[in-house]
Amino acid sequence: MRSPIPDYLTQVLDTCAPDSGELAEYIPELAAVDPDRFALSLVTAEGDAYSVGDHQDAFTIQSISKPFVYGLALETLGFEAVLDHVGVEPSGEAFSEISLERNTGRPLNPMINAGALATHALVASTPPADSGVERILKLLSSLAGRELDIDEKVARSELDNGYRNLALANLLRSYDVFTGDPRAVVEGYVRQCAVRVTTADLGMMAATLASGGVQPHTGEQIFSRPVVRQVLSVMATCGMYDAAGDWLTTIGIPAKSGVSGGIIGILPGQLGIAVFSPRLDPHGTSARGVEVCERLSRDMNLHLMDAPMVAHSVLRRRREFGDGDTAVTLLVLQGDLQFTNVETIVRDLIDEPIVTPRLVLDLALVRSVFPAGSRVLLEMVRRLHLDGIEVMFIDPEEHFPDPEVGGGYRPVVLESIGELPMDLQWRRGLPG
Ligand code: GLU
């Protein structure tokens, strides 16, 4: 069978209105590109990639580099040091506005140019000296899963006309947001923006954020989970500059645009999207890119606030086997154990108490256990034990390698149902 997904994506591109908008003329090299190029890439968190249109064509990443370099700064310097220099509040203003905190001069967020210059300066100032851009290039390459390079012609073209960014950098320097030479910071930042990518690369980079920082093809953990959460939060509130509220309410996913015409969007845990079309709307965002994202969000229910009801999906089965002393209740759990869905199990056990002397919790189909889910589950086990019930875990994935639940009680942990004691006759006939 041929997958219907590329056909659907091609249809999305075909049905988008002929492009309106303007090329980014303040960077002469960007004003010289073919304005009709159009590409779309969708990559799942597992790494299945679907790309259509001009997805192999290269263009400069521009502001889409900002969230990734912000992630690099958080990883290298830690949250506190970064937050001391760059805030996380939406500015509600255009990307190149002087959106600085009164008195301190701290840029409002890392997605606007002032914040991105400060973030770049932070990364560039960490040793080894003078290798900031190389480290950024290496990071972006590992996110894309291939070696990227810098379009020096675009960088030069931006630098030759970069009066505004130079003014911003000088202002930041005057507030001591960074120390060092403002011109060197602008030069480094402009080269960061000139890293050459394809739409397919951007799709992979977005998918890395969707999969909790793990590059889906190489398996490399590039960002830690707390960093991914921070980056996506800032993208959701500030990524689309003065259109951030409009974007979040209508399209509803963290996103970042760039003046060369790219947009990335991330649906956490599910997929990354990248679109490319160079003509821009008045916010400096790809006009057709916005249209594509609106269409995908509508068709595919991507809006984050349309979250699926997860609470009832973890208890797959409850059954009782055997009688008397050897009777067992079996609870088969599945999916992700978060607070809300473990709470439903607790409630079920209160409404319908366990009447057998043993309880087997089968976790073989559980994918992940979140800390609050784990705490509630273990406390539930402790209380069941106090009620005289012996609890056993089937835990081949080792979600609970050593489940000390308090009071010195440790439930038995087994690899499979086949390892249950032989006196539990009910297990005959069940898959081992
Ligand atoms: N290099 C561009 C600038 O600083 C990036 C702006 C953008 O892509 O939004 O003006």
Would the annotation count 241 as a binding residue? yes
Give residue 66's pLDDT: 98
Taking the alpha carbons of 149, 153, 154, 156 in that order, is the dihedral positive or negative?
A: positive
Q: What is the pLDDT of residue 20?
A: 83
What gap in Å lies between CA 141 and CA 133, rounded to an integer? Answer: 12
**What spacing in Å lies between the alpha carbon of 253 and ligand 1's midpoint?**
21
**Is 113 marked as a binding-site residue?**
yes
- Amino acid of residue 209: L
Whole-number pLDDT of residue 422: 65
pLDDT of residue 299: 92
- The reply, when asked if residue 165 is annotated as ligand binding, is yes
Res 184: pLDDT: 96
What is the CATH number assigned to the segment(s) 5-300?
A: 3.40.710.10
Q: Which atom of ligand 1 is nearest to the CA of 63?
A: 8
Measure the CA–CA gap between 424 and 326, rounded to whole angstroms.
6
Question: Residue 47 — φ and ψ, nearest 5°?
Answer: 100, 10
Residue pointed to by tokens 């009688």:
323
Distance 333 CA to ligand 1 centre (A): 48
We find that the CATH architecture of domain 315-429 is: 2-Layer Sandwich (3.30)
Give me the residues paired with residue 89 across strands. Answer: none
Phi-psi region of 404 (alpha: psi -120 to 50; beta: other; left: phi over 0): beta
Residues near ligand 1 with C-beta < 6 Å?
Answer: 62-63, 95-96, 113, 158, 165, 193, 258-259, 284
User: Does 341 belong to an annotated binding site?
Assistant: no
Atom of ligand 1 nearest to the CA of 95: 9
Active-site amino acid positions: 63, 66, 189, 241, 259
Query: Is 409 marked within a binding site?
Result: no
**What are the backbone angles phi and psi of residue 194, rounded to the nearest 5°?**
-95, 10
pLDDT at residue 1, rounded to an integer = 81
Q: What is the distance in A from the centroid of ligand 1 to the CA of 120?
A: 13
DSSP code per residue over 51-78: EEESTT-EEE-GGGHHHHHHHHHHHHH-
- Pocket probe mutation, ligand 1, options 93, 158, 189, max atoms within 8 Å of Cβ: 158
257 CB neighbour count, 10 Å cutoff: 30
What was the pLDDT predicted at 120?
A: 98
- Counting atoms of ligand 1 from 1, which one is nearest the CA of 193? 1
Q: Where are the domains of the chain?
A: 5-300, 315-429
pLDDT on residue 405? 86
Per-residue three-class SS string for 403-423: CCCCCCCCCEEECCHHHCCCC
Amino acid, single-letter form, for residue 281? D
Q: What is the pLDDT of residue 254?
A: 97
Residues 55/58/59/60 CA torsion (nearest 10 deg): 120
Ligand 1 pocket: which of 193, 283, 285 to mutate (most atoms <8 Å of CB)?
Answer: 193
70 belongs to an annotated ligand binding site: no
pLDDT value for 432 = 47
Q: What's the gap in Å between 246 CA and the centre of ligand 1? A: 20
Copy the structure tokens of residue 248. Answer: 């979040």
What is the distance in A from the centroid of ligand 1 to the CA of 96? 8
- Closest listed residue to residue 82, CA positions, set 130, 111, 136, 122: 122
Atom of ligand 1 at shortest range from CA of 260: 8
pLDDT digits (tens, 9 = 90+) for 219-251: 999 999 999 999 999 999 999 989 999 999 999
pLDDT of residue 281: 93
From 259, 260, 263, 286, the mutation candidate for ligand 1 (largest count of ligand atoms within 8 A of CB) is 259
Q: What residues of the chain score a pLDDT lower than 70?
A: 310-312, 422-432
